[in-house]
Structure 1
Amino acid sequence: MPPDQTDTLIAYRFTFADGQSVEHDVALVGTVELAQAAAWTHLDFQQCPHCPLAASEVQLCPFAAALQQPVNMLARHASFEPVDVRVRWRDREISQRTTLQRAAGSLLGAIGAASGCPHTRLLKAMAWFHQPFSGSDETLFRVLGSYLLGQYLRTQHGLAADWDLAGLREVYRNLRQVNLGMAQRLRAAAEQDSSVNGLILLDLLAADTLYSLDQYGGELDRFFAEYLQAP
């Protein structure tokens, strides 16, 4: 990618056992433009019940439109298929050998956050600092950190802050419904199950994060031992 795009494009490259490679770039600036939009990308195709957009005003679902190219790219591969993934982002490169399901989940997470979906917009800050293949504790750390930093920045602009995380819980409740809606759309489009299972994996992470927000059980305490010590 050009040097001036190192912080606006997240480049994923998938290499399969037969040597075939495919690539997809996630753009954090601008909107997705499709030469021909598939029927399942239209807003009124199994529209999420809690979607605030009106089909009379918006033709395409932002998240679905952003998924069309990667779905077409990965649809002929099964979720359990091994794949070598290379992610280029911010002048660094991360490589991992994993299943297509997990690799697709990482890619789709970045796509969703950058898509312009009203229910994923607060995840955009995390996309700017994308961490491929995050586990549940890493995801919880990044979610809490980005949201609380966002609240601090709100106070710097004279805006009210949500320090009790009520808004963040609402974001993740909405996100779970979005993941379900996208999975329903993709079942109508995918020849295999890689993209669908990638979203299922994302939903499991979302469910785990929401549970931790609602009933925190000390998942991050060991990383903050110094903060929890008496002065």
Structure 2
Amino acid sequence: MLIEYHFEFADGRHWQHRIDPAGSLVESDEELPEWTRLGFRQCDHCPLREPETAHCPFAVALVKPVEVLAQLPSYEQVQVRVLWRGRDIRQRTSLQRAFGSLLGALGATSGCPHTRMLQAMAWFHLPFSGSDETLYRVLGTHLLGQYLRQQRGLPADWALDSLRELYRNLRQVNLGMTERLRAAAVEDSGPNGMILLDLLAADTLYLLDQYEGELDRFFEAFFE
């Protein structure tokens, strides 16, 4: 089961990238660029240390997309096709938004210690999701995960404290990866895609901290 992203550019070029929800493929050390080194603008809260880990796992997952997509401006319109779970999702959008959607799946499956909890969401990846869809999936994934923990006799976090902490850490990762991509990118689609992803994370964190009933209208039957 692979998530397949197919890009068709204005000049007729095609490019595709596959994501394994069980974990991204790791490139050999000899092929990896300098900006993937763990110590290259490493996130301040990263628990990984050299020499045990030579390269940032999130950065390694971005090598191939950056080679292709980061050479183009973020405003360029692309036709994107996502094949996943028997679905064929097509959308014409900006490269920035398309790259942001791809980055979300890559980050969740990269092996980064701060994105591991998002891997469950990658198995149910929803391309181009908006704020309410993301909040629904985030809350649903967290609460189901806590229920499964409870079934195994583990402590469960029903107050969402660990989820808020996860998203605070995730925002730092997004900002750190943006700095890496600025060093790697010729054009701005890479950093801008990361910024767009961070805006979605920031919005989700805000809704978790300051929930004001954004999803209530979908659950009216539960309140009767």
Deviation at 1:29, TM superposition (A): 2.6
Match of 2:107 in 1: 112
Query: CA 1:30 to 1:143, structure 2 compared with 1: closer, same or farther past 3 Å?
Result: closer
Match of 2:140 in 1: 145
The answer to whether structure 1 residue 101 and structure 2 residue 96 are counterparts is: yes
SS at match of 1:188: helix
| Mapping of residues 1-231 of structure 1, within 5 Å | 7=1, 9-35=2-28, 36-229=31-224
Per-residue Cα deviation, 1:46-82 (whole angstroms, up to 9, x for no partner): 0000000012210010000001111111121111100
In structure 1, distance between residues paired with 2:182 and 2:24: 24
Per-residue Cα deviation, 1:4-34 (whole angstroms, up to 9, x for no partner): xxx3x11001101111111111112344322
Per-residue Cα deviation, 1:171-208 (whole angstroms, up to 9, x for no partner): 00000000000000000000001111111001000000
In structure 2, distance between residues paired with 1:144 and 1:75: 32
Match of 1:3 in 2: none
Per-residue Cα deviation, 1:99-133 (whole angstroms, up to 9, x for no partner): 11110000000000000000000000000000000
Give the conservation status (yes or no) of the 8 Å contact 2:96–2:193.
yes
Gaps of 5+ in 2: none
SS at match of 1:11: strand
SS at match of 2:222: coil
TM-score, with length taken from structure 2: 0.97
SS at match of 2:62: helix
In structure 2, distance between residues paired with 1:226 and 1:26: 37
User: Identity across aligned pairs (percent)?
Assistant: 65
Gaps of 5+ in 1: 1-6
SS at match of 2:25: coil
In structure 2, distance between residues paired with 1:91 and 1:24: 17
In structure 1, distance between residues paired with 2:24 and 2:211: 36
In structure 1, distance between residues paired with 2:63 and 2:116: 19
State the AA in 2 paired with 1:57: E
State the AA in 2 paired with 1:116: G
SS at match of 1:24: strand
Aligned CA RMSD, in angstroms, stands at 0.9
